[in-house]
């Protein structure tokens, strides 16, 4: 499943291929991916538009075209494939055709989303980006800022870390990794964390994501084979999906927090 580092890799890979390409036609095989405009509107708006840049905010890709922003979330299974054959796979839902090849949005579980906005709209005031806060790298996200927000939250810190409005970019896997590296129990009530804990969490988030991004960037040849990504990332994980704690060698616990599978070490991450 693509997390922030994979999305960053997709962004960089796609930039090499589709920048300055003009959309000649679009075919839509499953339209529920597109959330805020009709299928007809989507097609008529985008045909003739050229990809000028690709940005990322949290786990969202932001495609810049002449007159529009196309905002894409891959959720668990989404990927962009570059092809030039005729045959269409049943999981290829949206196909953008350029002069010499096409780009296909492929998504087995159909959970991904696309939003289309005209460029005169501030996309950060609209769904889905209005619900996305700052990334850990963004210096507008300060310790005080985060600590103040945490004071009002009673839910488990694991759940808080998955809330994109609070910190953008952490998914289920990285939330576990961040909590493990800070030795904080995932069930700890968010408002019980000290300012020092918050600082640790912020630092760990930066570190974990930065490392993953750099790895994603170096291990991936092509976004086409997204399997390579998850394979490599798994080598770097310390706690998520592990059986034994790398620190104390005791058994890792698996619980559910907010119906998300959560791994932690009861010994190294005791509930305070």
* Stretch of 38-46, 48-56, 164-172, 214-222 contacting DNA, by CB under 7 A: 164-172
Known catalytic residue at 59 = yes
* Stretch of 127-135, 204-212, 221-229, 243-251 contacting DNA, by CB under 7 A: 127-135
Choosing from 6, 8, 59, 186, the catalytic residue is: 59
Known catalytic residue at 3 = yes
Work out whether 266 is an interface residue with DNA (CB under 7 A). no
- Cα separation, 196 vs 40, in Å, equals 52
* Stretch of 11-19, 123-131, 218-226, 242-250 contacting DNA, by CB under 7 A: 123-131
Known catalytic residue at 2 = yes
- Cα separation, 257 vs 157, in Å, equals 9
Work out whether 109 is an interface residue with DNA (CB under 7 A). yes
Query: Is 212 within 8 Å of 3 (Cβ atoms)?
Result: yes
Residue 15: C-alpha distances to residues 20, 208, 210 (Å): 9, 24, 20
Instruction: Indicate the DSSP class of residue 125.
Output: G
Using DSSP, how many helices (H) and how many strands (E) does the chain show? 7, 10
Q: How many residues does the chain have?
A: 272
Site for DNA in 46-105 (CB under 7 A): 58-59, 73, 75-76, 91
Size of the site for DNA (CB under 7 A): 32
The dihedral region occupied by 13, where left means phi > 0, alpha psi between -120 and 50, and beta the remainder, is alpha
* Identified binder of DNA from the candidate list 131, 194, 225, 244, rule CB under 7 A: 131
Of the two residues 67 and 236, which places its CB atom closer to DNA in the complex? 236
What are the DSSP calls for 206-268, one per residue?
A: HHHHHHHHHHHHHH-S-TT-HHHHHHHHHHH-SSTT-SB-TTT--BPEEEEETTEEEEE-TTT
- Cα separation, 179 vs 197, in Å, equals 10
* Identified binder of DNA from the candidate list 5, 128, 136, 216, rule CB under 7 A: 128
Choosing from 3, 8, 135, 177, the catalytic residue is: 3
Work out whether 154 is an interface residue with DNA (CB under 7 A). yes
- Cα separation, 196 vs 63, in Å, equals 38
Site for DNA in 201-240 (CB under 7 A): none
Of the two residues 155 and 206, which places its CB atom closer to DNA in the complex? 155
Residue 251 Cβ vs DNA, minimum distance, rounded to whole Å:
18
* Alpha carbon of residue 130 to chain centroid: 15
Work out whether 106 is an interface residue with DNA (CB under 7 A). no
Work out whether 272 is an interface residue with DNA (CB under 7 A). no
Site for DNA in 168-187 (CB under 7 A): 171-172
Q: Is 62 helix (H, G, I), strand (E, B) or coil?
A: strand
Binding residues for DNA, rule: CB under 7 A, are 1, 32, 58-59, 73, 75-76, 91, 108-111, 127-128, 131-132, 149, 152-155, 159, 162, 164, 171-172, 190, 256, 258-261
Instruction: List residues with catalytic annotation.
Output: 2-3, 59, 260
């Amino acid at each position: 499943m693509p997390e922030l580092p994979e999305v960053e890799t997709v962004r960089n890979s796609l930039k090499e291929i589709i920048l300055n390409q003009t959309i000649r036609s679009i075919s839509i095989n499953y339209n529920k991916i597109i959330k805020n405009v009709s299928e007809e509107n989507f097609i008529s708006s985008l045909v003739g538009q050229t990809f000028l840049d690709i940005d990322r905010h949290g786990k969202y890709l932001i495609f810049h075209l002449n007159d529009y922003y196309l905002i894409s979330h891959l959720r668990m299974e989404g990927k962009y494939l570059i092809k030039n054959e005729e045959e269409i796979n049943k999981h290829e839902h949206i196909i953008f055709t350029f002069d010499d090849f096409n780009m296909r949005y492929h998504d087995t579980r159909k959970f991904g989303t696309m939003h289309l906005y005209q460029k005169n709209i501030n996309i950060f005031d609209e769904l889905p980006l209005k619900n996305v806060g700052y990334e850990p790298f963004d210096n507008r996200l300060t310790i005080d800022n985060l600590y103040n927000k945490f004071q009002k939250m009673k839910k488990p810190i694991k759940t808080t870390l998955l809330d994109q409005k609070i910190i953008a970019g952490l998914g289920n896997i990285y939330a576990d990794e961040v909590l493990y590296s800070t030795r904080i129990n995932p069930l700890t009530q968010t408002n019980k964390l000290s300012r020092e804990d918050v600082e640790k969490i912020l630092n760990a988030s930066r570190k974990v994501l930065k490392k993953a991004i750099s790895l994603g960037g170096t291990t991936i040849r092509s976004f086409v084979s997204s399997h390579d990504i998850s394979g490599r990332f798994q080598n770097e994980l310390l706690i998520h999906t592990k059986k034994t704690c790398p620190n104390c060698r005791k058994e890792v616990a698996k619980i559910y927090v907010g119906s998300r599978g959560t791994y932690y070490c009861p010994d190294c991450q005791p509930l305070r």
